[in-house]
Amino acid sequence: MIDIAELAATHLDAARSDQHGRSAGIVAHDGELRQTIIALTAGSSLGEHNSPNAATLQVWQGRVRVESPDGDVEASTGHLWVLTHERHSVHAVEDSVFLLTTLTGVGRSSHG
């Protein structure tokens, strides 16, 4: 069994010691499913990157802003957000920890 609260505290401590204000680790990886815990200190960011095929971001602590062409979205402790399919970046408004859940091997439908 995985203790997310314990992992969150460990990674936030590590982020506070990291020169870039970040720490991350794989929580679970099963086929296409991947869960990653990410800690960012206030003011630090994950630069613009492509979105996986499907993903959610669940904030365990703090507040983050996801910036994309679809518009900016802020999420705080307890919020779960389905990520955009557009390129995006993540910025920590305050010291934050979030769980990123992705499906990496599922193709997007071409039907519209």
CB hemisphere CA count around 19 (13 angstroms): 0
Neighbours of 111 (CB within 10 A): 4
Distance CA 94, CA 81 (A): 18
DSSP run (H or E) holding 12:
helix 4-17
How much is the pTM? 0.88
- Domains of the chain and CATH, by start: 4-103 (2.60.120.10)
Q: For 78-99, what is each residue's pLDDT tens digit?
A: 999 888 778 889 999 999 999 9
Q: For 12-68, what is each residue's pLDDT tens digit?
A: 999 999 999 999 999 999 999 999 999 999 999 998 878 778 899 999 999 999 998
Is there a contact between 3 and 27 (Cβ–Cβ < 8 Å)?
no
DSSP secondary structure code for residue 83 in this structure: P
Binning the chain into helix, strand and coil, the percentages to the nearest 5 are 10, 50, 40
